[in-house]
């Protein structure tokens, strides 16, 4: 018999400052390692006050991870050490594999209204931490959407829903990234590979995230699921919009310092020594 995933934990996002002074909500981060292996961090940056985000994220390094930036509303200008330049606009995704090392910046632009976006960090296994960096920019037009007869709309960034595949493929770590929107009085079931970690992050409205539960979980809350075959979500009087993310655990030691994640303190020391000496970038 197929088993729906029960909730393992609910965590409210917490306010923090990042970059040059960006006010954001952290759904999870270093304190939660290894609860969500292979995922390391999820930041929710949203505000209708440009003073909260205009300072941005000036030039900084990454190694050993992938960063996934998804803009709901607003624009972020970016540039990096391997020659990529551009703007991540409303509905766009940037999937960047830092690998052996990349230096980049992300600078939000002033937006009239509520600017909102997310950044997810995906860990890389030891065998891929020093791979050649790569960059994938996906526009909103390239992201497939599917709407069920029951009125549930899903934007498929990575993975598959109802035979519709997302544009981000050939991932180092087997992962799925969905943006799900449900109107009131709707039901949504989605299979998740057994053994994979899965979480949902609610950013609009609220809903119930396990079978036979009438407890509504609202915006700015992270839901961590236990193992099982699928996720079940229901709405009653409220609509809900949430990210649904799952991936295959790596099961390796995590050594994390700032923007760099390796497997040991020695590797971290080496990475920062190379950064300060100007030898951080291995290939362009």
Is residue 25 exposed (0-12), middle (13-18) or buried (19+ Cβ within 10 Å)? buried
pLDDT of residue 212: 84
pLDDT of residue 19: 95
Which tokens is 141 given? Answer: 């037009």
Kindly give the residue spans of alpha helices, DSSP state H, lying in the chain.
265-277
Please name every residue paired with 116 in a beta bridge, in sequence order, or none if there are none.
46, 73
Q: What is the CATH number of domain 143-252?
A: 2.60.120.10
**CATH topology identical between 13-140+276-284 and 143-252:** yes
pLDDT of residue 284: 52
Structural domain boundaries of the chain?
A: 13-140+276-284, 143-252
CA distance 63 to 58: 16
pLDDT of residue 155: 98
Which residue, chain included where needed, has tokens 């995230």?
209
- Fold classified for 13-140+276-284: Jelly Rolls (2.60.120)
pLDDT of residue 282: 83
pLDDT averaged per 10 residues in sequence order, the chain, 284 residues: 92 97 97 96 97 97 98 97 95 97 97 97 98 96 91 96 94 97 96 97 97 91 98 96 98 98 98 96 73
Q: Does the pTM exceed 0.75?
A: yes
Which tokens is 122 given? Answer: 């995906």
Measured distance between the N- and C-terminal CA atoms of the chain, rounded to whole angstroms: 50
Among 258, 259, 255, which residue's Cα sits nearest to residue 101?
Answer: 259
């Amino acid at each position: 018999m197929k088993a729906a995933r029960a909730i393992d934990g609910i965590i409210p996002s917490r306010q923090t400052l990042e970059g040059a002074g960006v006010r954001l909500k952290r759904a999870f981060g270093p304190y939660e390692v290894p609860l969500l292996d292979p995922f390391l961090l999820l930041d929710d940056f949203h505000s209708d006050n440009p003073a909260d985000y205009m300072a941005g994220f000036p030039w900084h390094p990454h190694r050993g991870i992938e960063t996934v930036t998804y803009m709901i509303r607003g624009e972020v200008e970016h540039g990096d050490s391997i020659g990529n330049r551009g703007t991540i606009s409303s509905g766009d995704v940037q999937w960047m594999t830092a690998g052996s090392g990349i230096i980049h910046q992300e600078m939000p632009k002033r937006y009239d209204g509520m600017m909102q976006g997310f950044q997810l960090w995906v860990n890389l296994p030891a065998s891929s931490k020093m791979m050649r960096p790569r960059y994938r920019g996906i526009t909103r037009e390239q992201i497939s959407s599917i709407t069920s007869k029951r009125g549930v709309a899903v934007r498929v960034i990575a993975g598959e829903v109802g035979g519709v595949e997302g544009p981000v493929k050939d991932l180092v770590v087997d992962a799925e990234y969905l943006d799900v929107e449900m109107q009131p009085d709707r039901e949504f079931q989605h299979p998740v590979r057994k053994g994979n970690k899965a979480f949902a992050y609610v950013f609009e409205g609220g809903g119930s995230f396990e079978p036979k539960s009438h407890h509504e979980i609202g915006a700015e809350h992270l839901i961590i699921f236990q193992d099982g075959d699928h996720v079940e979500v229901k709405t009653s009087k409220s609509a809900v919009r949430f990210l649904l993310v799952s991936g295959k655990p790596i099961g390796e030691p995590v050594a994390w310092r700032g923007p760099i994640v390796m497997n040991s303190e020695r590797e971290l020391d080496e990475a920062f020594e190379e950064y300060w000496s100007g030898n951080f970038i291995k290939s362009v």
